[in-house]
Structure 1
Amino acid sequence: MPARIDHAVTSGTFSLDGQTFDVDNNVWVFGDDRECVVIDAPHSAEAVRRVVGGRRVLAVLATHGHDDHVRAAPALARAVGAPVLLHPDDRVLWDLVHPDVPPDGELADGQRIEVAGTELRVLHTPGHSPGACCFHAPQAGVVFTGDTLFAGGPGATGRSYSDFDTIISSIRTRLFTLPPETVVHTGHGDSTGIAAEAPHLDEWIARGH
């Protein structure tokens, strides 16, 4: 059975630099009827478990370490018996949320994760945060971008540990080099596509500077 994508939206808060905002986060579960990976565990471990169902979870993959993407990760990992994987450059953000519970393993650029007979490739895409990662499934024609790329532009870079020029470089060199028909599943809001977003890069640069 080919890999499929299951999706849920969970609501909670995002806090950084002394400010807190209400947010809705996408949860993506990629796999088949037997096994899957979870991409981000935002606000509620139980909400994610409902999407997973009875499947074996191979890993909980964190697109980055902001609290609204990893708050439920340790609880989910314990519940399903899976490791939480995070890029080491985002450990500083993880530790703000879970100072006494380290992630179980690390993500690395170029790493390949096989699930349901399909390969996920880790793309290190810093900018929104130092260790932000996207997950590209070439066979499925999709990329999970977390908060690096949204429908309508790049992720925010106005807070600590973020940088506009870096996120633009990541998008240009790591995402806009993917096939134009690639579907983009984001960390918040609607999905989009590489072909829909790539023509607007120069507009974003002008607006950002």
Structure 2
Amino acid sequence: MSEKENYLTIKNAGKHEIIIKRSKFIASLARTSSVEAANEFIAQTKKKYRDATHNTFAYTIGKNDDQVKASDNGEPSGTAGVPELKVLQLMKLKNVTVVVTRYFGGIKLGAGGLIRAYSNSVTQAVENIGVVKRVLQQELNFHVAYNRFDKINHYLKENKIFINNTNYGIDIKISVFIDEDKQESFKKKLINLLAGKVDFTKGEERYNEIPVADHNYHEK
């Protein structure tokens, strides 16, 4: 995966709690773009829940899972951190750290039960927080005459093109963000709509975030 490819990540930092056979599992998640940021989040969460039985964690950094790590923090080997990491990878999430805190409730779950508990804790937390697709887009600026604005505005809204800004002067200056790989087709469409009377200038290039409406991540 190149540095300019689009990717999925969590909508924002958050946490979610589940109870399984009287044990409390708290999954805390954050966006982390470096190992340092991941370690800082892990340390803060461990400090917050210092009285917990376990603070297990997993992280994946980089758009190609360049740096990953998982910790069972005292749980039987392979029953906590690795299942958590596998959930993040199955969901194709990038630059995310999760810490799953467990307060033991007195009933042992067994290896299989622990794997399911830690996996479900992460899955439910992600679904509760939400996922976004970070899409690399290019800003394009162009001018439209007032008598052609309604046609262009309708096209932009119908095709869910993000309008960054609209300035009204002698004519109307419109700023939109277009996916990197859709610039040329967009330009051709607008040239057709405006009968060839349009010039484009490029603005900034940035990642914009588009909510992922469904949770069938393994199909993506």
- TM-score, normalising length: structure 1: 0.29
**Structure number, greater radius of gyration:** 2
Query: Which is helix-richer, 1 or 2?
Result: 2
